[in-house]
Structure 1
Amino acid sequence: MARTVGIGLQDFEKVRKRNVFYVDKTKFIQEWWESQDDVTLITRPRRFGKTLTMSMLEQFFSVDYQNRSDLFEGLYIWQKEEYRRLQGTYPVIFLSFANVKETSFSETRKKLCKTIQLLYRKYSFLLEGDLLSESEKEEFLKVSPDMEDYAASLSLQQLSNYLYRYYGKNVLILLDEYDTPMQEAYVNGFWNELSSFTRNLFNATFKGNPYLERAIMTGITRISKESIFSDLNNLKAITVTSEKYADCFGFTEAEVFSALDEYGLSDKKPEVKAWYDGFVFGNKADIYNPWSIINYLAEHKLGAYWANTSSNSLVGKLLREGSKNIKQDFEILLKGGCLKKVIDEQIVYNQLHAKESAIWSLLLAGGYLKAVQTEQIASTGTVYYYLELTNKEVRSMFCNMIHEWFADYDSGYNDFVKALLQNDLKAMNVYMNRVAMATFSFFDSGSRPSAESEPERFYHGFVLGLLVDLGERYVITSNRESGFGRYDVMLEPKNPADDAIILEFKVRDAQEEPDLNATVQSALQQIEEKKYAEALISRGIPPEKIRRYGFAFQGKKILIG
């Protein structure tokens, strides 16, 4: 009989006690312990089992779980006699920043300090007896949301000292979702203040801590060394391109197919693979995200489970406000294409708007893209990554996101698409101007708004919208000329009964064109001069089945003819 599927369980003890569906990942304990690394940073996309793994580590090593063989019997690690003797023998400090999502520095600082205060309360038994001096007991009790910066930065080191003296052993420190506050700091504009505070805390905890045995941090991104790890030369970073621990997070294909067999879903393997396979860690391909698989086992139906578990606002903001190059590249991805990019896995959040490589690096670290191939240039040592959308689930998420760019503004975009298909020129003009008025500034960057860039940003966002809404009905292509002068979009029908459509976009040149009507005519002339229709005719589309439209821009006004 198949095991019950438990959704959202992140406590290892609960998983084992309830005997719910679980894939044995305890080999990670052995691999990490034998690595002898001092401080390990492991980055993986969200919902990839990081928190459950940290819970497993705590309950394996912590003295609070001495003699808990019931949690590990039958699993890989319990087959190793030397690890049975290791279980429950270390003091462990385990904390998580997963819920620190405040929108100001002051509130974030308080939440971080409150998290540490709650950790101290767990060890309030240290105040008993004479292990601590009176002054140390006073300092212990002063740990609070309002403690001074120097006290906050030293708090975890001090707690390590107290536990070392109590147990006679150095401590293990487990910090889960270390980068969650940093992402919120970037989105909400207090990156510099928080990075300074965090740098001091991390340096005292992980670098200058004589009571530390080993430590693990987990997160989604590897934040740049200069930002918060400037003095941590003892840090071993394991990212999505690292071979180490490649199959310890996420499910392998063998594990997924075994689960489908257990639940009587063996015939669903091809469609499950198409939707949820695609993650690549190091040299391990065919990794599946656990959250979607677990939900699929429970629901027995395909859906965007992982993609919809939390906000994708940062990703959406970067794509929506990105340059024309970002949108053009994303057009390639939506069509199933591949990008060749240089990746810098040390994310510098405050460079995301200025450095395009940082955006692709963030999307790779977040699991939205996969690296299908790498290429190193011998003369320079530069490594290029060939990037694709991870799978159908991720593509579905981005399609929904792009659709909502227009839908959120009640702009008449859907009505424009209907008018375009029906060749209703009057309605096209009405609805496209409504779209433009509502969304021009929406596609511009909040940090560098520019009237000159608005038409170009709008155009590329509009093309992405067409790909999402008409991609099943048309093969959509757009050109790759640099600068926003004249652009064309071609819609080649998949059904011979539909018309082909050519769209030409042009910004009015006031010195050459007296009004928007002249600009429309110039755009239509461009279609003829460039012989765009010839490509469609050569593929068997009759000339009378090819419609041509010129789009003329002047500020936020658009005329279509």
Structure 2
Amino acid sequence: MNTKSALPVNISDFKKLINRNKIYVDKTKVIKNIISLRGTYYFLSRPRRFGKSLLVSTFKELFEGNKELFKGLYIYDKWDWNKTYPVIHIDLNKIKSNTAEKFEKSLNFLIDSIAENDFSIKLKAELSNDKLTELINNIHANTGKDIVVLVDEYDKPILSNISDEDLAIDIRDSLKDFYGVLKSADDKLEFVFITGVSKFSKVSLFSDLNNLTDLTMDSDFSTGCGYSQEELETYFKDYITEISKTNEISTNQLLELIKQWYNGYSWDGKNFLYTPYSILSFFDNDGTFNNYWFETGTPSFLMDLIKKDINIDVLFDKNLKLYGTFPNFDIKNLDLKTVLLQTGYLTIKKSKIIPGELPSYSLDIPNKEVRESLFSYILGSYINKTSETVYPIAQDLFRQLIAIDEDGFRRSLETLFSNIPYSHSELSDMEAFYHILFLSWMKMIGFEIQGEVIQLKGRVDAVLLKENIAVILELKFSTTKSMDSMLDEAITQILEKEYYKPYQDKTIILVGIAFKEKDIKCRIEEFKD
């Protein structure tokens, strides 16, 4: 078996990875195909920890002509190693940006460091955009060669401050001027490749790069970051074999579990990928399933946005769609669906292309890791509990529901609502608030949720489906009615309006839940025809 030392956990530098004999999943065919387009400006959006930095680093070593690093890789005998280019590699992960002043100083320092350390050039300009102009001009004059510019995580300073709208806009405008340098230097540039998590509107940021080619949703280049099923089974075969033996399950069973947990990311609805960080961490931890990607850092602005908009139906909408191109990210008008898609909490599951019409894409949460992590994080934030304490209570709820354990189910729900901060109990629409919390809990443990299902005789609050079980849920909230009368009303409504009829091939559990401010009571019955 390959040793753990071969796993490139937390290594995003191509040269270091190769020199340390780490596993490199060969992406050089995609790289060559991008370069073969013979354009100049390219952009790729992918979530964090998805391999963007390694991709950029591989471009760098290729253009600099470091042939020995590419032995055995697809591109080795398909590249003209006699042609080399000076490469300006700008990594905005390194930028400090908690104030506009720190951002400008940090960006200036980064460009000065690149000039001095990589090209022995001492810059005289004071502003960052002028420094970049001076650097490009000096390199071109000194070498007589066109230049390659690689920008990694171009949007990191903006996203780090997205909750502070004024600061985010200041940084965005500064970066607009900074990146605007690239268009004016067009005659000196061979290739420009820019990566980021989000796609800000070209009008807002890339207005000067109006010929920027966006590769984000292009099927021909969709596997440039992330691991495909074939790559997983080829490059990590020994790890898979060893873990399946240790756990006394078949290789196919293990692969199916890995797929459920970590696969499912797609930007074209055809090619589905694994998160590299999660896969590498999984093998590095002897095949222990855990929420590795999520734990590396959930953007705080995402939770701020979710809390700001109590109507988070996009998380439960089975028919969520995207039409046209990858949506833009607007600082002044953050859209939850766009944010979730660009940050990796939603992905494209299916594409539909009809001539003469805008393409349509079906969206969903990628996999079990993201689903469990996201909903436990949401719930933990609302009820003042850590994600680690939320999960076991969620499992108790499931067991109690299936066992028709009304008292246990009620106690677990009371645990859920007992720690809700007082400010939440004053919300104008408490019914919607409780509805979201309860559905989030059930979503986390794997139920397929059909919220507010419209049927011929009425509208049911939610149907929860899992394997051979259908849970028909009706929530009632009132400040005047008794808890028992609300429960009677909930169960009677389900029965009289025959909400159960479409699910009679399953075990049907009827659930009525009554809320009265912070008080809660429930009734659970198995439906008998």
**Percent pairwise identity:** 23
Cα contact 1:41–1:216 (8 A) shared by 2: yes
Residue 479 in structure 1 maps to residue 452 in structure 2: yes
**Pair 102,75 (structure 1): closer, same or farther in 2 beyond 3 Å:** same
Residue deviations 1:432-468, cap 9 Å, x none?
7744544627xxxxxxxx9534542343233312443
Structure 2 counterpart of 1:117, from 103, 112, 117: 112
Structure 1 counterpart of 2:323, from 336, 342, 355: 342
Residue 366 in structure 1 maps to residue 366 in structure 2: no
Larger Rg: 1
State the alpha-carbon separation in 1 of the partners of residues 240 and 465 from structure 2. 42
State the alpha-carbon separation in 2 of the partners of residues 290 and 454 from structure 1. 40
Cα contact 1:171–1:212 (8 A) shared by 2: yes
Q: Secondary structure of the residue that 1:263 maps to in structure 2?
A: helix
State the alpha-carbon separation in 2 of the partners of residues 500 and 231 from structure 1. 54
Residue 525 in structure 1 maps to residue 489 in structure 2: yes
Shift of 1:376: 5.0
Q: Secondary structure of the residue that 2:88 maps to in structure 1?
A: strand
Q: How does 1:453-492 map to 2 (within 5 A)?
A: 453=429, 455-468=431-444, 478-480=451-453, 488=461
List alignment gaps of at least 5 residues for structure 2.
245-250, 523-529
State the alpha-carbon separation in 1 of the partners of residues 521 and 408 from structure 2. 11
Structure 2 counterpart of 1:56, from 46, 54, 58: 58
Residue deviations 1:337-368, cap 9 Å, x none?
45234365242232554x4xxx3233333333
Q: How does 1:150-549 map to 2 (within 5 A)?
A: 151-189=127-165, 190-239=167-216, 241-263=217-239, 265=241, 267=251, 268-282=254-268, 284-301=270-287, 302-324=289-311, 326-327=312-313, 329-332=314-317, 337-342=318-323, 345-353=326-334, 355=335, 359-375=336-352, 381-408=357-384, 421-423=405-407, 434-438=418-422, 440=424, 451-453=427-429, 455-468=431-444, 478-480=451-453, 488=461, 503-508=474-479, 515-517=480-482, 521=485, 524-525=488-489, 527-529=491-493, 531=495, 535=499, 539=504, 548-549=512-513
**Pair 392,123 (structure 1): closer, same or farther in 2 beyond 3 Å:** closer
State the alpha-carbon separation in 1 of the partners of residues 294 and 220 from structure 2. 26
2:526: which partner in 1? none
State the alpha-carbon separation in 2 of the partners of residues 439 and 72 from structure 1. 58
RMSD of equivalent CA atoms: 4.0
Q: Secondary structure of the residue that 2:81 maps to in structure 1?
A: helix
Structure 2 counterpart of 1:18, from 5, 20, 39: 20
Q: Secondary structure of the residue that 1:98 maps to in structure 2?
A: helix
Alignment-mate amino acid for residue 227 of structure 2: F
State the alpha-carbon separation in 2 of the partners of residues 559 and 272 from structure 1. 38
List alignment gaps of at least 5 residues for structure 1.
128-139, 442-449, 509-514
Q: Secondary structure of the residue that 2:344 maps to in structure 1?
A: coil
**Pair 156,451 (structure 1): closer, same or farther in 2 beyond 3 Å:** same
Shift of 1:299: 2.6
State the alpha-carbon separation in 1 of the partners of residues 413 and 281 from structure 2. 45
1:90: which partner in 2? 85
**Pair 505,102 (structure 1): closer, same or farther in 2 beyond 3 Å:** farther
Cα contact 2:451–2:461 (8 A) shared by 1: yes
Shift of 1:216: 0.8
Q: Which moved more, 1:265-274 or 1:89-98?
A: 265-274
Alignment-mate amino acid for residue 70 of structure 2: F
Residue deviations 1:319-345, cap 9 Å, x none?
343342x33x4234xxxx452343652
Residue 32 in structure 1 maps to residue 34 in structure 2: yes
**Pair 321,117 (structure 1): closer, same or farther in 2 beyond 3 Å:** same
Alignment-mate amino acid for residue 75 of structure 1: L
Q: Which moved more, 1:254-263 or 1:8-17?
A: 254-263
Give the TM-score normalised by the residue count of structure 2.
0.80
Alignment-mate amino acid for residue 528 of structure 1: T
Q: Which moved more, 1:523-532 or 1:173-182?
A: 523-532
Cα contact 1:292–1:306 (8 A) shared by 2: yes
Residue deviations 1:262-303, cap 9 Å, x none?
435271333222322222243642322222222233333132
Alignment-mate amino acid for residue 20 of structure 1: K
**Pair 259,124 (structure 1): closer, same or farther in 2 beyond 3 Å:** closer
Residue deviations 1:140-177, cap 9 Å, x none?
24x5xxx4xxx222221210000111111121111111
Give the TM-score normalised by the residue count of structure 1.
0.76
Cα contact 2:269–2:350 (8 A) shared by 1: no
1:74: which partner in 2? 72
1:2: which partner in 2? 2
Shift of 1:408: 2.4
Residue deviations 1:158-204, cap 9 Å, x none?
10000111111121111111011121231233222112111111111
Residue deviations 1:44-101, cap 9 Å, x none?
2222221112112212223xxx6x4321222222212x52222xx2111111001336
State the alpha-carbon separation in 1 of the partners of residues 519 and 463 from structure 2. 19
Query: In the comparison of the two structures, how many residue pairs are matched?
Result: 495
Alignment-mate amino acid for residue 282 of structure 2: Y
Cα contact 2:30–2:223 (8 A) shared by 1: no
